[in-house]
Amino acid sequence: MCCSVRGAITIEENTKECIWENTELMLSEIINRNSLSAEDIISVVFTATRDIDAAYPAVVLRKMGITEASLICMQEMYVRGSLEMCIRVMVTINTDKAQKDMEHVYLKGAVVLRPDLVKKKTDAVAIDGPAGSGKSTVARLISKELGYIYVDTGAMYRTVGLYCLENGVDLSDDGAVVSALPHVDIRLSFEDGIQRIYMNGRDVTDDIRTQSAADAASKVAAVPEVRAELVRLQKKIAEKNNVVMDGRDIGTNVLPHARTKIYLDARVEERAKRRCNELSEKGISFDYNNIIKEIIERDDYDKKRKVNPLSVAKDAVVIDTTGLPVDQVKNKIMELVKSK
């Protein structure tokens, strides 16, 4: 069935760059909040106030990969005292949702147009990085200091991987993994702001912290249908809560408009040393050279996968944690959060 989504945003100046930047922001919010893809969009109608004439807002759609939708741009009728420097949009989509479930987007000064449709905005800190870079440790500390919920997205992929391992699902067969997905009921519980994860009613928070679960997580994370479902859950959590979320595609895909984006990294040797210390504390034997090899292979796999690979968001701050105490890394991030 067809539904429509409305949006509006004000711009600071009548320049091509400002028009396109704000149009992209508005459209991205509409797409992300309503979980849309380019294929869902049937038509897009733009209107702009008469003081905007430096560029067509519709140009942005091609840049965003929306090439099949019907487009039109029009100038609004002028009404004395009306909002100035404003771009509005009406997006018609093909969806299974009801019209009442659509989330309309009014940003910046355009909030005054429909304050009844503007939801309370939540805050998000997105932390990405490779295995062993310190994401989870630092994210927990940041969430505690801010009073936000900590969401460990890697645990969600590990849970799907654990289900596949325990139920004999062939991880090399994407079809088999997709078929197993409806049988995996993932529920998150937050105790003192810390995430515990349940699989089909069973607390698997500790069970997923094995190397085999980590390896399985990397494989299921490359399956588009798995990522789509877990990203949907992650976005839903962030819509209702202030979050610190860590993973490998948070700033680039899950929360592209997070207020603070961080990318943590460290030399392979440093990350291997951290992994060895974790295993040693748990009384698990290990071989340092094998750990190095596993980390290099995981990095290569994560960076080269076709669906939302590990990469640095263009507006993320990169922090090399090699040799840095955890508290120092935490303090650097807190400074960034407070400066936003």
Residue in 33, 88, 227, 274 annotated catalytic: 88
73 is a catalytic site residue: yes
6 is a catalytic site residue: yes
76 is a catalytic site residue: yes
Residue in 106, 157, 163, 263 annotated catalytic: 106
Q: What beta strand segments (E) does 65-201 contain?
A: 70-75, 86-94, 105-107, 124-128, 149-152, 186-191, 194-199
Dihedral, 179, 182, 183, 186 alpha carbons, nearest 10: 130
Under a CB-based contact definition with an 8 Å cutoff, are residues 69 and 44 in contact?
yes
Helix, strand, coil fractions of the chain, as percent rounded to 5: 45, 20, 35
C-alpha–C-alpha distance, residues 270 and 201, integer Å: 37
Which residue in the block uniquely carries the two structure tokens 């849309």?
Answer: 36
Residue in 12, 17, 84, 114 annotated catalytic: 114
Instruction: Give, rounded to a whole angstrom, the gap between the first and last alpha carbons of the chain.
Output: 41
Residue in 2, 12, 62, 297 annotated catalytic: 62
Residue in 18, 21, 24, 73 annotated catalytic: 73
C-alpha–C-alpha distance, residues 154 and 170, integer Å: 20
Classify residue 187 as exposed, middle or buried by CB count within 10 Å of its CB (0-12, 13-18, 19+): middle
Residue in 18, 21, 24, 76 annotated catalytic: 76
62 is a catalytic site residue: yes
Q: Which residues participate in catalysis according to the annotation?
A: 6, 62, 73, 76, 88, 106, 114
